[in-house]
Amino acid sequence: MTRIAGYADRVSVTPGETINFMVSCEAPSYKCDIVRLVCGDENPDGPGVKEKVVRTGASGTYKGRRQVCYDGSFMEVPAHPAIQGLDSFTFQAFIWPTTPDRGTQALISNWRDRDKAGAALIITKKDGSLALCLGDGKGEIEVIATNRPLIAHQWYFVAASYDAESKQVTLVQQPLNEYPNVDHGRTLKKKSALSGPGKHDAPLTMGGHFKRVDKGRTVCGGFYNGRIDSPRVANRVLSPAEMELAKTRPTHGSLATVVIGAWDFSQGITTTTATDLTANALHGSLVNMPTRAVTGWCWDGSEMNWQSAPEQYGAIHFHEDDVYDARWEVDFSLTCPKRLKSGVYAARLRGEGGGEEYIPFAVRAPRGAPTAKICFLLPTASYMAYANTNMSTNMGAAQILAGRLTVLNEKNLQRSEHREYGTSLYDSHIDGSGICYSSRLRPILNFRPKALEWIGGTESTLWQFNADTHLTEWLEARGFEYDVVTDEDLHYEGLSAIQDYTVVLSGSHPEYHSKAMWDAMQAYQQRGGRLMYMGANGWYWRIAYHTEVPGCIEVRRAEDGIRTWIARPGEYYHSFTGEYGGLWRRNGRPPQVIVGTGFSAQGFDISSYYVRQPDSFKPEVAWIFDGIGEDEKIGDFGLIGGGAAGLELDRADPLLGTPPNTYVLASSEGHTDLYLVVCEELDVNRPNADGTQDPLVRADIVFYETANGGACSPPARSPGAGALPTTTTTTTSRA
């Protein structure tokens, strides 16, 4: 099958705005149609895939070409005479390697790969020790190493100097922590056999060595996994005393003219710039989002917030599998026609000879001019969090959680094979550290109609995006007009993005929210808006959007919650904004405060049903249960697990913020022992925290009113909410 993949530069457009599409296609050509997505679920027991082709200027046949995504993060400093003219030099830094045995890794590199010219401070492939690599520019290379393997997750002060006159090389590999009978430090002096490092016009890089430029993108190799703190470049050999001074006062006294580059990574943490302290202003650009706001060599645990002690957070963590923007060239563009209705759309691409790809996006109503009373809030932040997740292939406990074998298919394997597209906030980097940044500026192979997604050890089309298209199909089948707004729109525009709508429908899994999103939704409810919570595990993790670059979110999995990785001590605050991360519950805003219920339990074998609670018989809420019998089970059927209450369950809890005027209308029952209470509810480990024994393993359907006629409600007919469907369906679990 021909491989075809792509992405767009935006997640939503309004009429008159332009969205660009980037495509990699191995076929000679492909056909593009813009389609309105009604339902993207291929499940034969469901509504089926429904899409409507719309005529646009972007429709047509395009020439196929292969575009490459280069992953791996590094810092780049443009070529500068102060560096390119070096004869003698010293490179030094603090490093915290995480995979020293993974091959050649460049720390500080003044190198051009084409003719092997220059010098680079590296970790050797041979034994994982520190080394200086010299190249004369004529094909001759010399590597001088300490031959003392570095130990992973240990801080070292490292340095390499070269004297052009004597050709003497000095290497310093100095561990900050010594251990009895562990020999992992050395100072070495050795004369080089080369005539000297060759001159070149390549940039200075850190975290990788320069290879070439491809269509405006700097391409590096020899990526480093680990942290670099306080890197320095001097224009002569530094004495041990000068090296010591350069660690903390690199521009002091006589060093002011000797140290030509001294980067302070504790400055500009919220940016993608690495600040040089010297008069040369050799500021670096960070490529592919290496992790910032991480503890450095001098962190002592006295401060947990990088803003309070920035000098202790002077490190950047580089990874060979970081990716932010694929930076592909634009293949075609769409200027959104004024007549195009708001909704969920996609560029549907079909390659010559086979292969299919969809690139979804939202079409919004004109700003300030809604075309419907109903707004569907597309949870694009959650799509980004799960982007290209490889839990089905990486997570060893999947089969235990689900009680069945993991089933893989071609689409799982495609995601696993294309790791260069980056993975999700649920995956870990090659060095074991958690992935805390995710971007939409790359192909996201599971943000697609027909895509299969991991659900506790098995695969289904009914999760995340495809589950949300069941909501759009439901609205359209009932003939209700609606507009679509995305999470990103809500973040950047706040209340103004949704204030003109009578009702806002959440997605099936609105898990990730920024403070701006949270505040906007609360303000919307308090001013009289009605929110219909259509999912579960919502308003769970706090995220931050990058303040400088588009389409990038951050999560810090701090303290508590269902987590596939845990943030390191001292690294609970977002690097993008400085805000405290983790669960919204840990930030004093449990989900119960905004939607009445919050994440309570999780399980992945079978789903259950709801039974009515005493509140459901009160006259104030009788309208919700029109046509439903007193003893009727609610949702004892479904496409996932055979019931409406499954996978993730949310419950009401006044102690966590469920409003006192809340009606608990129905609760689920009959869950299995594979449904477990979420860990933030457990003060100590106990054996009975499962669906057969613990009352916390349940989902509640609730209704409550807010000020000015606002409310949080299940899907039903409400006199104050406009015409909505009359059937009650799942609001606190995905099914």
Residue 614: CB atoms within 10 Å: 9
Tokens of 488: 């990103």
* Mean pLDDT confidence for 609-626: 95
Residue 309 lies in a domain: no
Same domain, 210 and 333: no
pLDDT at residue 453 is higher than 70: no
C-alpha 153 chain-centroid distance: 24
- Give the C-alpha separation, 593 to 204, whole Å: 51
pLDDT of amino acid 44:
87
Same domain, 572 and 434: yes
Same domain, 676 and 580: yes
Same domain, 566 and 683: yes
413-426 tens-digit pLDDT: 666 677 789 999 99
488-544 tens-digit pLDDT: 999 999 999 999 999 999 999 999 999 999 999 999 999 999 999 999 999 999 999
Q: How many domains does the chain have?
A: 3
Residue 521 lies in a domain: yes
Q: How many C-alpha atoms does 504 have within 13 Å on its Cβ side? A: 29
Same domain, 340 and 415: no
Residue 143 lies in a domain: yes
pLDDT of amino acid 462:
76
Same domain, 436 and 551: yes
Mapping DSSP onto H, E and C, the string for 250-314 reads: CCCHHHHHCEEEEEECCCCCCCCEEEECCCCCCCEEEECCCEEEECCCCCCCCCCCCCCCHHHCC
Mean pLDDT of the chain: 93
% the chain with pLDDT above 70 = 92
Query: Which residue did the predictor score with more confidence, 100 or 727?
Result: 100
Same domain, 551 and 476: yes
51-96 tens-digit pLDDT: 999 999 999 999 999 999 999 999 999 999 999 889 999 999 999 9
108-137 tens-digit pLDDT: 999 999 999 999 999 999 999 999 999 999
Residue 684 lies in a domain: yes
Residue 209 lies in a domain: yes
At 44, which CATH number? 2.60.40
At 241, which CATH number? 2.60.120.200
Residue 632: CB atoms within 10 Å: 13
pLDDT at residue 218 is higher than 90: yes
Same domain, 346 and 392: no
Residue 353: CB atoms within 10 Å: 13
- Give the C-alpha separation, 170 to 103, whole Å: 22
What is the reported pTM? Answer: 0.94
Same domain, 121 and 63: no
Tokens of 122: 């590296």
Residue 721 lies in a domain: no
Give the DSSP letter of residue 329.
P
Give Cβ neighbours of residue 328 (< 8 Å, ≥ 6 apart).
6, 7, 22, 23, 24, 67, 69
pLDDT at residue 395 is higher than 70: no
What is the band of 732 on the pLDDT scale with cuts at 50, 70, 90?
A: very low
Structural domain span for residue 108: 74-298
Give the dihedral sign, CA 261/263/267/270: positive
% the chain with pLDDT above 90 = 87
Residue 303 lies in a domain: no
Q: Are 270 and 300 in contact (CB under 8 A)?
A: no
Give the DSSP letter of residue 568.
P
Residue 114 lies in a domain: yes
Same domain, 349 and 383: no
The one-letter code for the residue type at 83 is I
Domain boundary among 341, 363, 385: 363
Domain boundary among 312, 341, 363: 363
The answer for 200, left when phi > 0, alpha when psi is -120 to 50, beta otherwise, is beta
Give the DSSP letter of residue 615.
G
C-alpha 94 chain-centroid distance: 28
Same domain, 106 and 189: yes
What is the band of 191 on the pLDDT scale with cuts at 50, 70, 90?
A: very high
Give the dihedral sign, CA 206/211/213/217: negative
> What Å distances lie between residue 493 and 316, 368, 458, 486, 500, CA to CA?
31, 11, 38, 11, 13
Same domain, 257 and 345: no
Residue 647: CB atoms within 10 Å: 27
Residue 475: CB atoms within 10 Å: 20
